[in-house]
Amino acid sequence: KMAEKQEEPSNAQNGEPDNAEEGEEKKKKKLKREDLPPFEIVTGERLPAIFFKFQFRNVEYSSGRNKTFLCYVLETQGRESVTSRGYLEDEHAAAHAEMAFFNTILPKCESSLRYNVTWYVSSSPCVTCADRITETLKKNKNLRLTIMVGRLFMWEEPEMQAALKKMKSAGCKLRIMKPQDFEYVWQNFVEQEEGEEAKAFVPWEDIQENFQYYEEKLLEIL
């Protein structure tokens, strides 16, 4: 896929004057359009069903699942409550979706408002992201965060376990997604085919066992 992208002719080859600044602008636009890393923020849109079915599967061996999909519901309580939702995805090579959420969706918490945030994430955060979550929650007492995860990431590692414990003590609620949570994501965040009746969520065969497996692990850790 990358190779195809690189073969596209540049402006200069198209016979257009390639004035550097204009070229930069175009490059930026082009990058945006092609959704290259570090991460993409998609608000008000839904993620393709094929991504959901692959990335959110709560399997034990997550080979090839090296992206994080983070669907969020952000409720801001001020004079009036405002709820927004969207999803972020990342390529693990660059900034992670969890960081992107704090840097872009919630860059500054206003102390006069309260924020209730729920994330539905394909897997639990890495150590660096977990530490960032802990710091953010300690700094912003008006932020409540619940993270619903499909899988636990590297949960056998002692430093990962320690990071998850710190998140909990900073007030983060960490939960494993139940079949109903996957269904909620399916209904609220996944593209339904145009013009078709919304397809019902079809749970995969081991969804309940895998949920129980991860829930036990999480209980042991926390």
Indicate which CATH number applies to the domain containing 106: 3.40.140.10
The pLDDT of residue 182 is: 92
Residues spanned by the domain of 186: 42-191+204-221
| Residue 135 resides in a domain | yes
Q: Give Cα 9 distance to the centre of its chain.
A: 33
Model confidence at 53, pLDDT cuts 50, 70, 90, reads confident
Order of strands across the sheet that contains 67-77: 39-43, 81-91, 67-77, 114-123, 143-151, 173-176
| Residue 119 resides in a domain | yes
Model confidence at 178, pLDDT cuts 50, 70, 90, reads very high
Measured in degrees and rounded to the nearest 5, phi and psi for residue 70 equal -125, 110
**Contact by Cβ (8 Å): 182, 149:** no
Higher-pLDDT residue of 106 and 55 is 106
Could you report the per-residue pLDDT of 129-140, keeping only the tens digit for each?
999 999 999 999
Q: Which two tokens stand for residue 73?
A: 């519901």
Percent of the chain with pLDDT over 90: 38
Model confidence at 61, pLDDT cuts 50, 70, 90, reads low
| Residue 10 resides in a domain | no
Fill in the DSSP letter of residue 82.
E
Of 8-12, 108-112, 176-180, 190-194, the range with the highest mean pLDDT is: 176-180
**Catalytic residue positions, numbered:** 98
Collect all residues with Cβ–Cβ distance below 8 Å to 118 and sequence separation of at least 6: 72, 73, 145, 146, 147, 148
Q: Which two tokens stand for residue 28?
A: 């930026």
| Residue 7 resides in a domain | no
Distance CA 164, CA 166 (A): 5
Percent of the chain with pLDDT over 70: 69
Q: How much is the average pLDDT of 58-73?
A: 70
The pLDDT of residue 197 is: 59
| Residue 17 resides in a domain | no
| Residue 13 resides in a domain | no
Looking only at the bridges linking them, the beta strands covering 114-123 and 143-151 are parallel
How many separate domains does the chain show?
Answer: 1
| Residue 171 resides in a domain | yes
| Residue 165 resides in a domain | yes
